[in-house]
Amino acid sequence: MSKRVLTTESGAPVADNQNSASAGVGGPLLLQDQHLLEKLARFNRERIPERVVHARGSGAYGHFEVTDDVTGFTHADFLSTVGRRTEVFLRFSTVADNLGGADAVRDPRGFAVKFYTEQGNYDLVGNNTPVFFIKDPIKFPDFIHSQKRDPFTGRQEPDNVWDFWAHAPEATHQITWLMGDRGIPASYRHMNGYGSHTYQWTNAEGEAFFVKYHFKTNQGIRSLSSEQAAETAGKDPNSHQTDLLQAIERGVRPSWTLYVQVMPAAEADGYRFNPFDLTKVWPHDDYPLQRVGRLVLDRNPDNVFAEVEQAAFSPNNFVPGIGPSPDKMLQGRLFAYADAHRYRLGVNHTLLAVNAPRATVASNYGRDGLMAANSQGRAARNYEPNSYGGPTETGRPLSAPLAVNGHTGTYETPLHTKDDHFFQAGELYRLMSEEERSRLVANIAGGLSQVSRDDVVEKNLAHFHAADPEYGRRVEEAVLALRED
């Protein structure tokens, strides 16, 4: 094999990559040493801002294959035929810690899928939990501030974590989930993924449905206890990355089966609780799971920075046949992600290979800006309408319109008397075996007992009491026992 020549970034051959150019053998260095300047300057710019949440992650490519006919519910092209395959990129992540954290921690996991469809990229940016801590986006920055490292101490502070939760009774369901056995997945392969929000599907007749996505792992659910996790994180902070990378390199093809719960749009108004409340699940008795297809991962990225760190998922990247619901959290997210990408990666992040459409071509009048790499043809006009055959709109809405009524204002979502903030948390607790309950109680008490203010502890205890009297009593006893130690 002939030797390849090392070059500068402009392609000129490099004479010496071991010694800087100097004035004489021991002399000061020369400003004319382009290779040295370029190397140091590029090195200084190797890091970009990490994601403000979900900073640590791992990604892989694969495909999604439709196994069941869902054309009665959506006219999305990539879901239109049984057997149809669409390339995907999936990024998994932890949420709260910075890039320098560990994988094996108690935290929700991100489950973000990019479907490279022929009608454009469809991003489904979900978690491994079917619900979330809050239901209004205006609380998200406060919530995240309370869970991430404190600006003064530089640590995650139990005082902040539980103080926020003391003021967020709607978080009780997700806390029960997080502190339970599924709170620390053994690996990214051994957990489910959920769209979590309610989305809207529209079929070819224009009929609208509300749907919730469930990706069930075909590897089986495996979790770590708090003790196992501490040991794993100490031995290999990148344990999830190691597992995913090595499994795929070995030829293992992790897969998930996608199901949806489908609610005809007309039923939303009369449903007994707000079906757009992200802190609640839809009971499967009301809306059973219907199988859609299978997602398979089979290829590791060639370069983690280029493809995983620079991946950009936005819940607002829909394709015809799929759209948003009125879920307020989702509505906030429709803005937040692309805005984060413009800051983190720049306005032209959609030109990067991992983010650009693969099964179609982006055709529009956006031009220029930092890192512009798309000429779009020398004669292409950059305004519309034009007389030169430039791209034009279809006139067909992507999804059915959402009904609106009432007056503008800031509203708390009304709660049903039975399905309040606590009911589903209690249901989840009552579903658990005795062993699961004991571990849940011990995990909650382990955190809550570190809180310094009594009123914060009491407010949190009141939430567990409201979810289930036994749940509340056991957490209270465990907290008291630990605080007396």
Supply the residues annotated as catalytic.
54, 127
Q: Smallest distance, Å, CB 60 to ligand HEM?
A: 12
**57/169 with CB nearer ligand HEM:** 57
Work out which of 35, 63, 91, 189 binds ligand HEM, going by CB under 6 A.
Answer: 91
Closest CA to 131 of 73, 178, 99: 178
Q: Does 169 bind ligand HEM (CB under 6 A)?
A: no
Work out which of 56, 173, 240, 333 binds ligand HEM, going by CB under 6 A.
Answer: 333
User: What binding mask, one character per residue, do residues 205-224 give for ligand HEM by CB under 6 A, x or -?
Assistant: --------------------
Count, residues near ligand HEM per rule CB under 6 A:
27
Q: Smallest distance, Å, CB 456 to ligand HEM?
A: 24
For 463, the token pair is 């939430």
Site for ligand HEM in 339-398 (CB under 6 A): 340-341, 344
Q: Taking a C-beta distance cutoff of 8 angstroms, is the pair 422, 172 a contact?
A: yes
Work out which of 337, 423, 429, 471 binds ligand HEM, going by CB under 6 A.
Answer: 337
User: What binding mask, one character per residue, do residues 185-204 give for ligand HEM by CB under 6 A, x or -?
Assistant: -----------x--------
Q: Smallest distance, Å, CB 445 to ligand HEM?
A: 27
Q: Smallest distance, Å, CB 169 to ligand HEM?
A: 18
Site for ligand HEM in 423-462 (CB under 6 A): none
Closest CA to 60 of 130, 125, 114: 114
Burial grade of 257 (CB within 10 A; 0-12, 13-18, 19 or more): middle
Closest CA to 57 of 301, 349, 332: 301
Work out which of 184, 268, 296, 311 binds ligand HEM, going by CB under 6 A.
Answer: 311
**109/294 with CB nearer ligand HEM:** 109
How crowded is the C-beta side of 72, counted as CA atoms within 13 Å? 8
Q: Which residues have CB under 8 Å from 312's CB, separation 6+?
A: 337, 338, 341, 344, 345, 349, 350, 352, 355
**75/197 with CB nearer ligand HEM:** 197
Burial grade of 289 (CB within 10 A; 0-12, 13-18, 19 or more): middle
Q: Smallest distance, Å, CB 196 to ligand HEM?
A: 3
CA distance 100 to 92: 16
CA distance 138 to 115: 29
The window from 17-25, 224-232, 247-255, 334-342 that contacts ligand HEM (CB under 6 A) reads 334-342
Please state the three-class secondary structure of 405-426 as a single string: CCCCCCCCCCCCCCCCCCHHHH
Site for ligand HEM in 94-133 (CB under 6 A): 110, 112, 125-127, 132
Q: Taking a C-beta distance cutoff of 8 angstroms, is the pair 237, 101 a contact?
A: yes
Buried b / exposed e along 178-194 (16+ C-beta atoms within 10 A): bbbbbbbbbbbbbbbbb
CA distance 195 to 260: 10
Q: Smallest distance, Å, CB 306 to ligand HEM?
A: 14
CA distance 101 to 95: 10
Q: Does 161 bind ligand HEM (CB under 6 A)?
A: no
State the DSSP H helix or E strand holding residue 85, giving kind and residue range, or none if neither: strand 85-94
The window from 47-55, 161-169, 184-192, 460-468 that contacts ligand HEM (CB under 6 A) reads 47-55
Q: Smallest distance, Å, CB 304 to ligand HEM?
A: 13
Work out which of 336, 356, 362, 400 binds ligand HEM, going by CB under 6 A.
Answer: 336
**299/342 with CB nearer ligand HEM:** 342
Positions touching ligand HEM (CB under 6 A) are: 51-54, 57, 91, 93, 110, 112, 125-127, 132, 137, 140, 196, 311-313, 329, 332-333, 336-337, 340-341, 344
